[in-house]
DNA sequence: GTTTAGAATGTGTACGTACACATTTTTAAT
DNA sequence: ATTAAAAATGTGTACGTACACATTCTAAAC
């Protein structure tokens, strides 16, 4: 059923039907009612191909995410965003990715300027440098540019959507898995390894969740918790890490709330004769972590589908701008538990 | 980038480019190569709106899957297929779902007749009744009707795609989780619970994977394996099940390779004072299983994303028929490990 | 050097919609 | 009744592709 046929049925021209459909006015009440009745009756559905062809709008989406070197965590959200672009570019969604240095506020602001110059129809933002990110969201809001957040949220922001994970729950899950492996007794070391100076809410929440699980367990009396902080790149960080890994008393498990557990695994592997019974639980399926998971040095990794996060972020703009559909304001992706046994089917899992 | 622009770049007409793109021949080798090079270079993507408009085809896809009552496993693939239709109907993908009774070959064949009468452009098939399913695939092949398989595969069939899980690996994973929970010692009971008489390859493969893991472990000496079969609906099946659950010797763990572990959980719960330390690992996030996972009676469930399977099956036809893209011949979905701690984020996870 | 078949290439139209622009009809003021 | 303004309605073109049909070129046969 086409506009043409409706026009014929109503004894009017295409243009009149068109005006009614788009509520452009300039139609007498009588004809409007007649046409609406026919549209209703024949259940007219516009042909989305024809509509898409003639509208042929294209949208510029700019993604602002941390730069990375191969194999680092932030490669994965980028990968997902790019994959989404591959599928959605045919619908007029055009992507620009801008990378900033997590450790440099000037770098971030430089990219913000670039971003604004591009006059985007939508922005995907990883608010890693929280304070500056908030400033950007204010600017976007006042410029009526919609934005989606990935990885971590900015509460009370007017984001089109937030796509990430429940970090607190992720920590609880890590604790559960580690406790199961160590038979719920002994000393557990939480080692926070970071490569930048930003306040990292995600790490903090994972640690809180981890502690929460243990403090509310019925075997809390059998567990001792130790916490360590390592800053990659600082003087002696490797020695400090080695120290943190070395079994004190009765260390049986280590939890690293960032994607950096491979550094711990490397330590353990180097001293495998004395440390082989220490269980490791960490986050994120980056290549280095996967390597040690396969070797059995790391026991569990928790995945948060970062590629999927990126994919969904761009897709949210497609749904919003192209299809005119509503998108969920908040989306927590599943916390995947990865072991040697199910690792192989999590690798090409973007969509 | 349009055909017109490519034609201009190559100094030829639209028609010539068109012939190259559609491999209609009647183009000299030299120009063909030139055009292909340009297409490659500019990464030409056809405008799907224009294409859709001119082709204006609609496709009938028929899905043939087992019937179910609410909360049963087969509800989930159906849900996924329907969700995909919602998204894809606007592109001309029309869906017909036919439900057959898993326990009735005549019911299946009746639906096959119905299916063929619909003259589908594609078929989604759950080959639960293996022998009959194979016959159908032969018919479809000779009628040049493409088909996709979900849930379990028919090796050597000419399916457009198979979407399912690696059942053997799923069994291995189950064994790993159960052994971790029971500290790698004691008696494990494998209880096969079925509601039909079909030879179920998936169950068999899961059991084989389960055994494989244990037989190749270094703690095999500490484990005893017992196997039981329960047919729902037969006389005394409940008594038999109770018997199978009752701890003999030193039963510390139970594995159910089907989605029916909630029946076991019900038994355990009813005798929780004496059986609370028996660990349970099963498959599939159906409502009844989830209930006992939340209560802590079931320790781990392994998910295989059945909604996703259904979604991808219909999407594979969209990609094949509408977009003309190639689709992966085989797709194993991840084996999700579900516990109390990460359950909440696996529920709305269709796409 | 013509002729001619066949290969190679070019041209024109349709698909259904959106929107600018052109034309006709109605209404109100004189 | 005439005219101008406003309201209502009609017309034409573009979007990018697929495919039928028309035209031009090439090489072989005489």
* Residues within a 7 A CB radius of strand C: A 2-4, 14-15, 18, 21-22, 44, 46-47, 50-51, 53-55; B 7, 11-16, 18-19, 25-32, 50, 53-54, 56
- For residue A323, give Cα distances in angstroms to A47, A105, B265: 13, 36, 45
| Residue B127 CB neighbour total at 10 angstroms | 24
* Per-residue confidence (pLDDT) for residue A348, from 0 to 100: 62
With beta carbons less than 8 A apart as the criterion, state whether A31 and A92 touch. Answer: no
Q: Is A49 an 8 Å CB contact of chain B?
A: yes
Are B334 and A349 in contact (CB < 8 Å)? yes
Count of structural domains within chain B: 3
* Per-residue confidence (pLDDT) for residue B34, from 0 to 100: 95
* Residue-wise pLDDT tens digits, B208-231: 999 999 999 999 999 999 999 999
> Is residue B340 one of the residues assigned to a domain?
no
Q: What is the DSSP string of A25-83?
A: --S-HHHHHHHHHHHHHHT----HHHHHHHH---EEEEEEEE---TTSTTHHHHHHHHH
> Is residue A171 one of the residues assigned to a domain?
yes
Q: Is A349 an 8 Å CB contact of chain B?
A: yes
Rounded distance between C-alpha atoms, residue A320 and residue A91, angstroms: 12
Q: Is A335 an 8 Å CB contact of chain B?
A: yes
Residue A185 sits in the same domain as residue A285: yes
Q: Is the pLDDT of residue A349 over 70?
A: no
Residue B154 sits in the same domain as residue B83: yes
Residue B217 sits in the same domain as residue B107: no
Mean per-residue pLDDT over chain A, rounded: 92
Q: CA–C1' span, B45 to D19, in Å?
A: 19
* Per-residue confidence (pLDDT) for residue A117, from 0 to 100: 94
List the single best residue of B345, B349, B350, B351 to mutate versus A (max A Cβ within 10 A): B345
> Is residue B338 one of the residues assigned to a domain?
no
Positions of chain B with pLDDT lower than 70, given as ranges = 247, 249, 348-351
Q: Is B68 an 8 Å CB contact of chain A?
A: no
Average confidence (pLDDT) over A101-112: 95
Q: Which of the four pLDDT bands, split at 50, 70 and 90, describes residue A350? A: very low
> Is residue B294 one of the residues assigned to a domain?
yes
Residue A201 sits in the same domain as residue A273: yes
> Is residue B197 one of the residues assigned to a domain?
yes
Taking contacts as CB-CB distances below 8 angstroms, the residues of chain A near B344 are 169
Q: CA–C1' span, B54 to D11, in Å?
A: 23
* Per-residue confidence (pLDDT) for residue A6, from 0 to 100: 94
Residue A198 sits in the same domain as residue A236: yes
Q: CA–C1' span, A59 to D13, in Å?
A: 24
Closest Cα to residue B73, out of B342, B338, B288? B288
Are B349 and A332 in contact (CB < 8 Å)? no
List the single best residue of A1, A44, A49 to mutate versus B (max B Cβ within 10 A): A49
Residue A11 sits in the same domain as residue A27: yes
* Residue-wise pLDDT tens digits, A258-280: 999 999 999 999 988 888 889 99
Residue with smallest Cα–C1' gap to C11: B15
Rounded distance between C-alpha atoms, residue B210 and residue B296, angstroms: 22
**Angle at CA of residue A72, ends A269 and A283, nearest 5°:** 60
CA B102 to chain centre: 16
Query: In chain A, which ranges are continuous DSSP H helix?
Result: 3-10, 14-21, 29-42, 48-55, 75-88, 105-117, 130-142, 167-182, 201-215, 237-245, 261-270, 272-275, 287-295, 306-317
Give the range of the structural domain holding residue A11, as residue numbers without chain letter. Answer: 3-54
> Is residue A339 one of the residues assigned to a domain?
no
> Is residue B347 one of the residues assigned to a domain?
no
With a CB cutoff of 8 Å and minimum separation 6, the contacts of B9 are B38, B42
- For residue B167, give Cα distances in angstroms to A342, B151, B172, B179: 11, 10, 9, 18
> Is residue B244 one of the residues assigned to a domain?
yes
Q: Is the pLDDT of residue A196 over 80?
A: no
* Per-residue confidence (pLDDT) for residue A240, from 0 to 100: 87
Residue A172 sits in the same domain as residue A274: yes
Q: Is the pLDDT of residue A124 over 50?
A: yes
The CATH code of the domain that includes A181 is 3.40.50.2300
CB-strand contact B18/D, under 7 Å: yes
The CATH code of the domain that includes A21 is 1.10.260.40
- In the A/B pair of chains, how many CB contacts fall below 8 A? 91
CB-strand contact A351/D, under 7 Å: no
CB-strand contact A17/D, under 7 Å: no
Residue A73 sits in the same domain as residue A131: yes
Q: Where on the phi/psi map is residue B208: left (φ > 0), alpha (ψ -120 to 50), or beta? A: alpha
Residue B196 sits in the same domain as residue B293: yes
Residue B186 sits in the same domain as residue B295: yes
Q: CA–C1' span, A33 to D9, in Å?
A: 15
Residue B147 sits in the same domain as residue B103: yes
Q: Is B91 an 8 Å CB contact of chain A?
A: yes
Residue B13 sits in the same domain as residue B79: no
* Residue-wise pLDDT tens digits, A83-99: 999 888 878 899 999 99
């Amino acid at each position: 059923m086409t506009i043409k046929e409706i026009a014929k049925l109503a004894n009017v021209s295409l243009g009149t039907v068109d005006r009614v459909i788009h509520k452009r006015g300039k139609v007498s009440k009588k004809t409007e009612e007649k046409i609406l009745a026919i549209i209703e009756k024949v259940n007219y559905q516009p042909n989305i191909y024809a509509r898409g062809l003639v509208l042929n709008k294209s949208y510029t989406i700019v993604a602002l995410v941390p730069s990375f070197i191969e194999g680092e965590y932030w490669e994965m959200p980028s990968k997902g965003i790019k994959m989404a672009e591959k599928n959605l570019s045919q619908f007029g969604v055009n992507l620009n990715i801008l990378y900033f240095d997590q450790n440099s506020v000037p770098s971030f602001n430089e990219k913000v300027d670039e971003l604004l110059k591009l006059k985007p129809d939508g922005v995907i933002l990883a608010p890693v440098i929280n304070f500056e990110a908030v400033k950007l969201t204010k600017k976007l809001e006042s410029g009526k540019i919609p934005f989606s957040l990935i990885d971590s949220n900015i509460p009370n922001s007017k984001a089109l959507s937030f796509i990430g994970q429940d970090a607190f729950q992720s920590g609880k899950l890590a604790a559960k898995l580690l406790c199961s492996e160590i038979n719920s007794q002994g000393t557990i070391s939480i080692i926070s390894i970071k490569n930048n100076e930003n306040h990292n809410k995600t790490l903090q929440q994972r640690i809180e969740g981890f502690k929460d699980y243990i403090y509310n367990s019925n075997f809390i009396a059998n567990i001792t918790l130790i916490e360590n902080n390592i800053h990659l790149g600082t003087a002696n960080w490797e020695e400090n890490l080695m120290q943190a890994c070395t079994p004190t008393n009765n260390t049986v498990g280590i939890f690293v709330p960032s994607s950096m557990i491979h550094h711990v695994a490397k330590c353990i592997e180097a001293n495998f004769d004395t440390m082989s019974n220490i269980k490791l639980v960490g986050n994120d399926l980056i290549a280095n972590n996967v390597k040690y998971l396969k070797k059995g040095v790391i026991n569990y990794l928790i995945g948060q589908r970062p590629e999927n996060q990126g994919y969904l972020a761009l897709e949210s703009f497609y749904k919003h701008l192209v299809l005119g559909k509503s998108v969920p304001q908040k989306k927590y992706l599943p916390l995947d538990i990865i072991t040697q046994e199910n690792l192989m089917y999590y690798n090409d899992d973007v969509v």
